[in-house]
Structure 1
Amino acid sequence: MLKFLIIFLGVGWLLGQLIRYFLRSKLAQFAKQVNEAAKEQQQAQQRASRPKDSVNVDFIPKEELEKRKKNIQGGEYVDYEEVKE
């Protein structure tokens, strides 16, 4: 009788652990799906809220950024006098 009780408790504990593991994995998958759906919905709202004629640049190549930085040079020095009133 004692042997049966120990085996029964061991199997019950093992099943509890397995159920807990599978529930956690399913909940994690569900949370991931909900997050992805929310992200897609947010992106759709952002696209809908933009004016139709606006331009949106998602990616600027590094080469273009480097060209822009190189083209910026200091301007000419302008000598000025401070005028006191």
Structure 2
Amino acid sequence: MVKFLIIVLGVGWLLGQLIRYFLRSKLAKFAAQVQEMEREQRRAQQAQSRSKDDVNVDYIPKDHQKKRQKDIEGGEYVDFEEVKE
């Protein structure tokens, strides 16, 4: 009777450890999936906000770049005074 009780307790403990191990691994996988979905949602939101607010230039012709550099060499300084009302 004592042997039977010891065997039942040992098997119960072993099953408990196995169940705990498998649950932890499943929960870790689930948490990783949730984090990945959250990252994808953030990327999508950032892409949407960028497309509304920012201006992206993919190509600038070479002749335009040379002309632009020549135009910015110097300028006229205009002295001004701030008028308070």
Q: TM-score range by the shorter chain?
A: 0.5 to 0.7
Unaligned stretches of 5+ residues in structure 2? 58-85
2:42 aligned partner: 42
The alpha-carbon deviation at position 55 of structure 1 amounts to 2.5
Query: Number of residues paired by the alignment?
Result: 57
Distance in 1, Cα, partners of 2:7 & 2:51: 68
Unaligned stretches of 5+ residues in structure 1? 57-85
Q: Which runs of 4+ in 1 moved over 4 A?
A: none
The one-character-per-residue Cα deviations of 1:36-85 (angstroms, maximum 9, x if unpaired) are 000000000000111366228xxxxxxxxxxxxxxxxxxxxxxxxxxxxx
Percent sequence identity is 71
TM-score where L is the length of structure 2: 0.62
SS at 2:51's partner residue?
Answer: coil
One-letter code of the match for 2:38? A
Cα-Cα RMSD: 2.0
